[in-house]
Amino acid sequence: MPTIVVPLKLAENHDEHNPEHAAAWIAGLPALAAGFLDRWNLRPDGEPAHGYVALVLPVLREDGTPAALKLQPVDEERAGEPVALRAWGGRGAVRLLEDDPATGTLLLERLDAARSLDDVPDAEAALLALTGLLAQLHTASVPGGLRHLGDVVREMLDAVPEALESLVDAEERRLLAGWAEVVREVAGEPGDRLLHWDLHYENVLAPLPDALPGRGPWVAIDPVPLVGDPAFDLMPAFDNRWDDLVATGDVERAVRRRFDLMTDVLSLERGRAARWTVARALQNSLWTVEDGGSRLEEEQVAVVRALAPYV
């Protein structure tokens, strides 16, 4: 069994994400991987890859089927991933083959990591593909045991006063306070659909060429499941592939075009959808402040400004 070498960047990410436990988790990762290779009768089949906190090993199952072993810490954010993947059952999302709740380890269908929606040259085609996946994911039956948007929103609004003190620009403090007021308008109706919460273009991969018949051309990965309003899933389609918007010469118009297309396909009421998108801008900005930032990100401000006519 080859020794698993932990990528340096992954170790650095853990130092930043969870410094208290990073060293111990990274040190134990090779043994954890070896244990699951043995437990699930897997053979390594390529170089390891990683996201921000997960190590992903391409493997072959006992019958030769390609798969991906995903090793990640257990925390509130990732505990719901196997729950949601089972609910989706491969419809629009990567298939879950095995999981171990005690360690957060997942065995997943192998996808083509070299082909993501981020690489599709036609920005509108990429947006339509992403939106079609959201339409599939939002129709699944909602399992128990997942976080709810109502709880997340209450935590967000509680964090606003402290965040306002951290912003150095008076106009940005006014903007953030205004976004919080918009969120309060919809906070009482947080919705009840199964959300992905992080469906940006790099989190959509193509199946392998020999995938099962009937598999769609694109598959969602890395959900951070949440139960709530489907409009809360829109923002990653706006603030990712930002250069495409800038290249149009009119960012606000381009944002509104994406928003109009997505709300049409998903049959969302635009006023409500705009407010929940403001909620994502608020959440993203609170995270920026939590990470030590003192200014709002220009993408968040631009998206909210573009959607102001709908709010």
Give catalytic residues, as residue numbers. Answer: 198
Which 3 state secondary structure label does DSSP give 135? Answer: helix
Q: Measured between alpha carbons, how far is 188 from 157 in angstroms, rounded to an integer?
A: 13
Q: Measured between alpha carbons, how far is 83 from 88 in angstroms, rounded to an integer?
A: 9
Q: Is the dihedral of CA 7, 13, 17, 19 positive or negative?
A: positive
CB 94 within 8 A of CB 219: yes
Q: Measured between alpha carbons, how far is 134 from 126 in angstroms, rounded to an integer?
A: 13
Q: Burial, 142: exposed, middle or buried (Cβ in 10 Å; 0-12, 13-18, 19+)?
A: middle
Task: Give buried/exposed letters for 2-26 (b at 16+ CB in 10 A, else e).
Answer: eebebeeebbebbeeeeeeebeebb
CB 224 within 8 A of CB 80: yes
